Structure formats: structure tokens, C-alpha cells
Structure 1
């Protein structure tokens, strides 16, 4: 699995982000492109300890979902979205794209960090797993919008 912490994957993600524009239509799902850019910020907020969204530890999440966050198996289309990451209103694409770009670069700047705080619901991730999870989430949604 690619990791956002590798220079090649970071460069790829930034290039794909640049290919998005406010007119892109989703191939699946209900989100508009601005909502997707807003949604993708959430996992970075958690990783960078900006917001834990009130999440609590979940043995169910750890046992049944944790490995799917960073393994090589692609996520299926139309997976349910956590309520706190589900946009309920339109979002300005250019604003949300700029915020997402800043968060991606901030996370990448910590690529050599050895120890990360545990995820509030899933528990401990290695640095590699954090990078893989972020890449996989962005790849899933960028593919949703054809980039």
C-alpha cells in the first residue's frame, strides 16, 4: 500500500488534488466535490490532533475495521460515512481544497515522526499505517471524482 509519507505518493496526491475543480462530478455517492474536500480533512484533523470529534475507543472498530483502513484492498463504493464527517450543506470547493492541501502538506511534514498519538476509536497505528490510511482515503475519494 502506498503511503502519503513517501515523496512519490505525496507528489501523486498533490497532482491529483490539482486536477480537481468545482465542476467535477462524482462517479458514485452523494457528495459534491466541495463536500468531498471538506470530508477528507477529518482524518487529518484526527491524525494531527486538531479534533477527535468526540470519538470513543471501540473494540468493534478495532477488531472488524482497523486493518481495512491501511491494507491493499480497495474500499468498495458507497461505504457509509461516519456522521461527524458527513457534510450536510454545500461547501465552497476552492476554500475546502486550500484547507485540504494545507493539511496534506502538514501531515507530510511529519513524515519522519516515529510515534503518533493513538486514534481515538481505532487505537494505535504505526507511522506507516497512518500514512497508508491517509493515502487510501484520498485515493478512494479522488477516484470517486475521476482523478
Structure 2
């Protein structure tokens, strides 16, 4: 399984991120480039254990089943997969370059993973292996969304 903890894969993702700019547009979804970059930075902060969010009710019911589906193979995350409300970015504009650099810096932190316990708001408690797989898939999903 592909994981963010693989240095070569992480480097490839960062190279793809470096192709994004203020003029990048989405192939699907409602986010603009700034919102996507900010969303991904916020997601990384959560997955690195810097921010924690309350578990959502549906996640308590279906989270483990959905996690199994997300991590069973290397298939990409489907288009229009719902975004957790905690990770939705309301502001429409901001510093694209700053958010791009922040996202890259956060991804580079996976080179030396912490042993923080990660509790995803939908999936619940995650192993390091699951964190690595989900971060890779989430990053790839949004890069494909912006044709990168």
C-alpha cells in the first residue's frame, strides 16, 4: 500500500504540489485552489496530532467500516467524497503560495513521524499504518482534483 511515510512517494507528491499556482482550477468539487490548500494543511495538522476534533455521530456508527473500505486497496478516493465540516474552509481567498509552502512543510514532517495517538473525527482511532495510507490517498485525491 502506498503511504506518506515512503520518502520517494512523499517527494513525488511534493513535486506535484509544486505545480499548483493561483490559476489552478478544480476538475470537480466546490473548493478553489486556496480553499483546497488550506483544507489540506488543516487535514495534515489533524493527522500529525496537532489539532483534534470531536468525533461525529455517523463516524461512531460507520467509521470503522468506512476506514476498512478506504484502506483495503490502493484505489483512489472517489470524487465528491464528503468533507468533514471541521475541515471545510469558508474563506474564499488568501495567500496561495503561503498555504502551498505550509502544506509541503507539514508533509515533510512525516519523514520523522511522532507516536501521537490520532483519532480521526469520522474513522476513529488510527494506527500509524492507517495514517500513512490515508494521508497519501487524501493528498493524491486533491492533487488529482486540481489536475496535478
Q: Alpha-carbon deviation of 1:67? A: 2.0
Unaligned runs of 5+ in 2: none
Counterpart pick for 1:104 among 79, 87, 107: 107
CA distance 1:43–1:61, change in 2 (3 Å): farther
Root-mean-square deviation (CA, aligned residues, Å) is 1.9
Within 5 Å, give how 1:1-147 maps onto structure 2: 1-55=1-55, 58-71=59-72, 72-90=74-92, 91-110=94-113, 115-121=115-121, 122-147=123-148
Please give the TM-score of this superposition, normalised by the length of structure 1: 0.86
CA contact (8 A) 2:60 2:124 kept: no
Shift of 1:120: 4.4
- Tell me whether 24-33 or 79-88 shows the greater mean CA deviation: 79-88
User: Which segments of 5 or more consecutive residues in structure 1 lack a partner in the other structure?
Assistant: none
Higher strand share: 2
The total of aligned residue pairs comes to: 144
Deviation at 1:81, TM superposition (A): 1.0
